[in-house]
Amino acid sequence: MNLNHSPFDPDARRLSLPPLPVWRLLTWQAPHGLVAFVAMVAIAIVMVWVYVQSLSTVRVVVDGATRTIHTNQATVAAILHDASIQVYPEDRVVPSLEAPVEDGEAIRVDHARPVVVEVDGRTIQARSLKSSPANILADLGITLAPYDKLMVDGQPIEAIAPATAGRLTTASLSTRAGRGTGSPVPHNITVLRAVKLTVRSNDAAPVTLHTTALSIGEALRQAGMTLYLADKVQPELGTPVHDEQAVTIERAVPLTVVADGRHLHTRTHSKTVADALAEAGLALEGSDYTDPAPNAPLQRDMTIRIVRVAETFRIEQEPVPFEIQWMPDPEMEIDNQDLRQAGENGVLQNRIRVRYEDGKEISRRLEDSGIIRPPKTKVIGYGTKIVVRTMDTPDGPVEYWRKIRMMATSYSASTAGTPKTAKYYGRTALGWTMRFGIVAVDPRVVKLSSRVYVFGYGVGDAGDTGGAIKGKRIDLGFDDEDPRVWTWHRWTDVYLLTPVPNNVSYVIADWPPEP
What CATH number does the domain located at 312-382 have? 2.20.230.10
Q: What is the 3-state secondary structure (H, E, C) of 128-169?
A: ECCCCHHHHHHHCCCCCCCCCEEEECCEEECCCCHHHCCCCC
pLDDT of residue 262: 93
Kind of pairing between the strands at 56-62 and 346-357: unpaired
What CATH number does the domain located at 253-307 have? 3.10.20.90
Please report, as a single letter, which amino acid is at residue 437.
G
pLDDT at 242 over 80: yes
Spatial CA neighbour of 438 closest among 466, 470, 399, 406:
466
Decide: residue 15, CB within 10 A, 0-12 exposed, 13-18 middle, 19+ buried.
Answer: exposed
CB atoms within 10 A of CB 252: 19
Delimit the domains of the chain by residue range: 56-110, 113-192, 195-250, 253-307, 312-382, 386-497
Per-residue pLDDT reduced to its tens digit, 259-313? 998 999 999 988 899 998 998 899 999 999 999 999 999 988 999 999 999 999 9
What's the CA gap between 249 and 237, in Å, rounded? Answer: 11
Confidence band, pLDDT 50/70/90 cuts, at residue 69:
confident
CB atoms within 10 A of CB 338: 12
Decide: residue 501, CB within 10 A, 0-12 exposed, 13-18 middle, 19+ buried.
Answer: middle
Per-residue pLDDT reduced to its tens digit, 230-239? 888 999 889 9
What's the CA gap between 363 and 356, in Å, rounded? Answer: 7
pLDDT of residue 279: 87
Q: 22-36, 210-224, 331-345, 350-364: which has the minimum mean pLDDT?
A: 22-36
Per-residue pLDDT reduced to its tens digit, 6-52? 444 444 444 444 554 544 544 555 566 777 787 787 787 767 665 55
What is the CATH class of 195-250? Answer: alpha beta
What CATH number does the domain located at 56-110 have? 3.10.20
What's the CA gap between 104 and 77, in Å, rounded? Answer: 16
Cβ neighbors of 400 (< 8 A, separation 6 or more) are 388, 389, 390, 391, 453, 495, 496, 497, 498
Give CA separation, 480 vs 78, 192, 411, in Å: 159, 123, 9
pLDDT of residue 106: 86
What's the CA gap between 190 and 150, in Å, rounded? Answer: 6
Q: What is the mean pLDDT of residues 239-257?
A: 90
What's the CA gap between 457 and 409, in Å, rounded? Answer: 11
Q: Which CATH number fits domain 113-192: 3.40.50, 3.10.20, 3.30.230, 1.10.3470?
A: 3.10.20
Q: Who wins on pLDDT, 148 or 391?
A: 391
Percent over 70 (pLDDT), the chain: 87
Q: Who wins on pLDDT, 157 or 114?
A: 114
Per CATH, 113-192 and 253-307 having the same topology is answered yes
Confidence band, pLDDT 50/70/90 cuts, at residue 4:
very low
| Per CATH, domain 386-497 is 2.40.40.10 | yes
Q: 65-79, 317-331, 364-378, 414-428: which has the minimum mean pLDDT?
A: 65-79
pLDDT at 113 over 90: no
Per-residue pLDDT reduced to its tens digit, 83-94? 888 888 888 898
Contact of 407 with 469, CB cutoff 8 Å: no
User: Whole-model pTM?
Assistant: 0.47
Please report, as a single letter, which amino acid is at residue 485.
V
Q: What is the mean pLDDT of residues 466-480?
A: 96
pLDDT at 394 over 90: yes
Confidence band, pLDDT 50/70/90 cuts, at residue 167:
very low
Q: 15-19, 72-76, 132-136, 215-219: which has the minimum mean pLDDT?
A: 15-19
